[in-house]
Structure 1
Amino acid sequence: MLGWSRGYKEMSWCPEMTFRAMISSISDGIYITDSNGYCIAHNEAFLRITGIPINVVDRNVSTLIDDNLISESATLEVIRTRQRVSIITVFPSGCEALVTGNPVFDDAGNFFNVVCEVRDLSELNSLKDDLKRSKQLNKQYREILVSYNPALNNDEQKITVRDPKMQSILDELPRIGDSDATVLIYGESGVGKGLIASLLHEHSTRSTKGKFIKVDCSAIPSSLIESELFGYEGGSFTGALREGKAGLLDQGNHGTVFLDEIGELPLLLQVKLLSVLQDHKILRVGGTTPLSMDIRFVCATNRNLEKMVEEGTFRKDLYYRLNVIPVAIPPLRERKDDIFVLTISFLNKFCQKYNRNVSFVPEAMDCLYEYSWPGNVRELENIVERLVVLGQSSLIKKIDLPEKIRRVSPTMVLADIDILHPNEQEIIPLKAAVAATERQLIVQAFQQNDHLGPAAQALGIDISTLLRKCKKLGIKRVATSTVEMPV
């Protein structure tokens, strides 16, 4: 589409067909006026880049100023100075553009036209950002590859971290391991609570005297969990072995018992566990004689035990017995630096397991970095294994990643967190929360309003502020109403 205005007849210096082909072939926006500021011609790219409605393009630039449709004009500045003028602005389409106005003179030196070139900077800025991230990613990738030693076996390299918070936790493990104090590990599912518990056992003297026994409190039926934990005497219930059976706590004697998902433990069992912690003795189901036990307890949960105490679903006295040394493991989305080292660690592990030799291209690693990982380390490990098993080439590219990871951009990292109705366990930095909230509200305003003016009014801000926030937050969908902008 090529727009022609009433002033086109003045352009006798250029044959119509030649001019039409010339201006239409230009990818940048072209906007031409006469010496008085009346539009003579424009190309389709101008309408596409700016988002200015076609019914107002023919108007004199000065009337656009008077009617507050634009705040300043490169065209009028050229008419005033007879010199080249450049300005950078954000148009109603949401595009940031460089507008360059050029004066046109005839052979006698008389000024008679202004030609404005409108260049979309959004794509250029995006490419620059991508290049910058790619360079940073390549640098980090090289550092990790240099520091990571693939010759180490899985036992020697049980956990790989670069995040300062995680490194601080690992640094404390030897001191915690030296004691018999009960440890309560907090963290979302998949962050590695079981691995931390195992390392605590290995750092203790109990590792040479007893076993590390893991008990998943959520996986054992409530009708069986008591007999599984404490064992039972022969004939104590229907189906019981004649000779009885030792429980999991017996197996952990002189060692460490890891009670995972402790928040799922029934209230009646909480009473018996509290007795074990206080008296260091257990009583088997159907038994009458307590048995002395030397057990170090490490527990873990992804639930808010304090709230459960308030609700009466978890015993307060047991909570304080367990919460002697709390260890909070942050989710993977809050320790981005660990994504790289964990990915390479898992990649090495599964390449050895499946006899493959594959690696990630930087673009794919960038996608892994930007993804929010709701399933945390466990999800990352599963994804890497799937890519190694199903990969058809030696390079894992962006197209090979699951769609939910491919489609994530830097501005969408918080998209899966409902800021307006937050989960009690999702604690994110205040600055990030504010940005995410603004993004949600702006997107919602655009969904409910077809034009910029009403959207800005609904948000209680002016249009220029709305456009600035759209640019900052990476919101590309912008309504199509006319807005103040330079031409």
Structure 2
Amino acid sequence: MDRKDIRIINQLEEQIKYLTKQQYIYNEMLNKVEDGIYITDKIGTTLFVNDAFLALSGLSRDKIIGKTVYSLKNKSILPNSCCAKVIETRSTVFTINNYVEGQKCLVSGSPIFDDDGKLVRTIAVIRDVSELNNLMKNLILREDLIINSSKYTVKESKESKKDAYISSNDYMKEIYNNVNKVANFDSTILILGETGVGKDFLAEYIYNVSNIKNKGKFVKVNCGAVPENLLESEFFGYEEGAFSGALKGGKKGLFEEANNGVIFLDEIGDMPYSLQVKLLTVINDKVFYRIGGVKPINFNAKIVAATNANLLKLVEQKKFRLDLYYRLNVVNFTIPPLRNRKEDIIPLSQEFIEYYNNKYSKNTFFSPGCLEKFLAYDWPGNIREMKNIIERLVLISDTPCIHTKLFKEQLIIGENETPVIFIERPEESSGTLKERMEQFERKEIIKVLNSSRTLKIAAETLDIDISTLVRKKQKYKIK
């Protein structure tokens, strides 16, 4: 071996030493990173994992180094492989991995290409989900957070967590303050407000803060859901043999079940007129009879009623008794719609997303842009609409972060949902008589839709069935 060969060998050895030293430094640098790091080659062979990944996953290097992510996944060593999806898609991928012996983690994987555009490596960054959740909560609920608008400022409540959950709105705080004053008295309470504003929540709150909670049950009755011919027996019960099909021994009614507690009459405006006089008698005399019975049953439950209807208008239409209205309306609370208490939107959205994350084992969160749209949206279906939409967003989101685009896609007209209407005005009338009449009809429907809160109200205003209204909307392509 001549001197030239020896010199080349020495140079190669020096380069190997240098590269080895550099590799060691790079590895040490990656081991100082608090997030987990997972690196593979172009076919998924595991080349490197840092110490943080081992701590998060509960795995050891000898189990994974040199093995492909596909074999590790097949052997259930890896619960999921973000890097495998990166190789398949050649793009950035987000997954949630629940490591059997470690933590539940958010994983973001990215491809690494060479100068020729060929895939050479994949790298995944792994973060503990609980840490991420804390970071997002601090970001969203931080006292000085302003979401792209000086109009809306979200501040962390200085009150107890329970009070903060109830409401951040001054008017709502006053309602709850007054509820606390009257909850222990036996006076009837009437709760008014649009559909979905939380009337049932307030009714349960009345029960929970009163001393009644330790004495009796909270019994809810939807007056519009029970068939009219069964309503009296459901309310007051019946004796054995009272009618064909009656149970042996008879049956307790809901009023009897609620004794010493609270009976919540939801949708009281839908109660049949014939039954209203019996309810009035129960309230006045504090006694009722089972169907077919002769023995009086004392009634001592607190009555809380709720409706989204205008009861005085129903009185004018002879659909609701005026004396019953006054008897129920001893104390009343009107809950404002969600669009009039914007400060409740962010806290409620965080409560709901946390609830559904736990229910469905997900770890989603809202982007600031999505929260901004929440604040700008009118929520015609109020809290119920928000709850339903957030449940859908949690279920269908492909990434942990829920973006504005996905929220907008959910603002569609469903069978039982309040529509979001963005309508273009029609052009001036032209064409045949039939076409002119159709143009006029379309214009009138658009006008009513724009001034109505729900499809149901619009249909009633137009004096047509809601199914007819939906059919005409489709016919005239009203979006």
The alignment's TM-score, normalised by the length of structure 2, stands at: 0.55
**Aligned partners of 1:210 and 1:349: how far apart in 2?**
28
Aligned AA (1:280): K
Cα 1:385–1:325 change in 2 (3 A) is same
2:148 to 128, 131, 135: 135
Q: Which residue of 1 aligns with 2:349?
A: 343
1:193 to 169, 189, 199: 199
Aligned AA (1:296): K
**Aligned partners of 1:349 and 1:423: how far apart in 2?**
28
Cα deviation digits, residues 184-241 of structure 1 (max 9, x gap): 0001111100010001011211111000000000110001010000000111111101
2:237–2:291 Cα contact (<8 Å) kept:
yes
1:323 to 323, 329, 338: 329
Aligned AA (2:191): I
**Aligned partners of 2:378 and 2:308: how far apart in 1?**
18
Q: Which residue of 2 aligns with 1:115?
A: none
2:312 to 306, 311, 316: 306
What is the DSSP-based 3-state SS (H/G/I as helix, E as strand, rest coil) of the residue aligned with 1:184? strand
Matched, 1:273 2:279: yes
**Aligned partners of 2:401 and 2:322: how far apart in 1?**
53
What is the DSSP-based 3-state SS (H/G/I as helix, E as strand, rest coil) of the residue aligned with 1:298? strand
Cα deviation digits, residues 9-57 of structure 1 (max 9, x gap): xxxxxxxxxxxxxxxxxxxxxxxxxxxxxxxxxxxxxxxxxxxxxxxxx
Cα 1:183–1:209 change in 2 (3 A) is same
Cα 1:306–1:372 change in 2 (3 A) is same
Give the Å deviation of 1:304: 0.4
Q: Which residue of 2 aligns with 1:208?
A: 214
1:371–1:405 Cα contact (<8 Å) kept:
no
Q: Which residue of 1 aligns with 2:231?
A: 225
2:268–2:306 Cα contact (<8 Å) kept:
yes
**Aligned partners of 1:175 and 1:333: how far apart in 2?**
27
Cα 1:158–1:385 change in 2 (3 A) is farther
**Aligned partners of 1:322 and 1:232: how far apart in 2?**
25
What is the DSSP-based 3-state SS (H/G/I as helix, E as strand, rest coil) of the residue aligned with 1:401? helix
Q: Which residue of 2 aligns with 1:103?
A: none
1:160–1:341 Cα contact (<8 Å) kept:
no
**Aligned partners of 1:333 and 1:249: how far apart in 2?**
36
Matched, 1:264 2:270: yes
Give the Å deviation of 1:244: 0.6
**Aligned partners of 2:295 and 2:385: how far apart in 1?**
46
1:387 to 384, 393, 406: 393
1:77-96 → structure 2 map (5 Å cutoff): none
**Aligned partners of 1:226 and 1:315: how far apart in 2?**
17
Matched, 1:364 2:370: yes
Aligned AA (2:310): N
**Aligned partners of 2:211 and 2:288: how far apart in 1?**
23
Q: Which residue of 1 aligns with 2:244?
A: 238
1:338-487 → structure 2 map (5 Å cutoff): 338-403=344-409, 405=411
What is the DSSP-based 3-state SS (H/G/I as helix, E as strand, rest coil) of the residue aligned with 2:166? coil
Give the Å deviation of 1:354: 2.0
What is the DSSP-based 3-state SS (H/G/I as helix, E as strand, rest coil) of the residue aligned with 2:303? strand
Aligned AA (2:219): I
1:367–1:405 Cα contact (<8 Å) kept:
no
Aligned AA (2:266): D
1:165 to 150, 167, 171: 171
Structure 1 ranges of 4+ moved more than 4 A: 146-149, 156-159, 415-424
**Aligned partners of 1:140 and 1:184: how far apart in 2?**
33
**Aligned partners of 1:173 and 1:160: how far apart in 2?**
12
What is the DSSP-based 3-state SS (H/G/I as helix, E as strand, rest coil) of the residue aligned with 1:223? helix
2:191–2:305 Cα contact (<8 Å) kept:
yes
2:148–2:372 Cα contact (<8 Å) kept:
no
Aligned AA (1:178): N
Q: Which residue of 1 aligns with 2:296?
A: 290
**Aligned partners of 2:386 and 2:169: how far apart in 1?**
16
Q: Identify unmatched segments of 5+ residues in structure 1.
A: 1-131, 425-487
**Aligned partners of 1:387 and 1:293: how far apart in 2?**
45
**Aligned partners of 1:366 and 1:227: how far apart in 2?**
49
Give the Å deviation of 1:174: 1.0
**Aligned partners of 2:357 and 2:164: how far apart in 1?**
17
Give the Å deviation of 1:380: 0.3
Give the Å deviation of 1:181: 0.7
Give the Å deviation of 1:140: 3.7
Tell me how many residue pairs correspond in the alignment: 286
**Aligned partners of 1:179 and 1:412: how far apart in 2?**
47
What is the DSSP-based 3-state SS (H/G/I as helix, E as strand, rest coil) of the residue aligned with 1:238? coil
Give the Å deviation of 1:266: 0.7
Cα 1:157–1:347 change in 2 (3 A) is farther
What is the DSSP-based 3-state SS (H/G/I as helix, E as strand, rest coil) of the residue aligned with 1:388? helix
**Aligned partners of 1:358 and 1:348: how far apart in 2?**
8
2:184–2:212 Cα contact (<8 Å) kept:
no
Matched, 1:334 2:340: yes
Q: Which residue of 2 aligns with 1:21?
A: none
Q: Identify unmatched segments of 5+ residues in structure 2.
A: 1-144, 413-420, 426-445, 455-479
1:364–1:397 Cα contact (<8 Å) kept:
yes
Cα 1:138–1:164 change in 2 (3 A) is closer
What is the DSSP-based 3-state SS (H/G/I as helix, E as strand, rest coil) of the residue aligned with 2:372? helix
Q: Which residue of 2 aligns with 1:249?
A: 255
The alignment's TM-score, normalised by the length of structure 1, stands at: 0.54
Cα deviation digits, residues 425-450 of structure 1 (max 9, x gap): xxxxxxxxxxxxxxxxxxxxxxxxxx
What is the DSSP-based 3-state SS (H/G/I as helix, E as strand, rest coil) of the residue aligned with 1:181? coil
**Aligned partners of 1:137 and 1:361: how far apart in 2?**
18
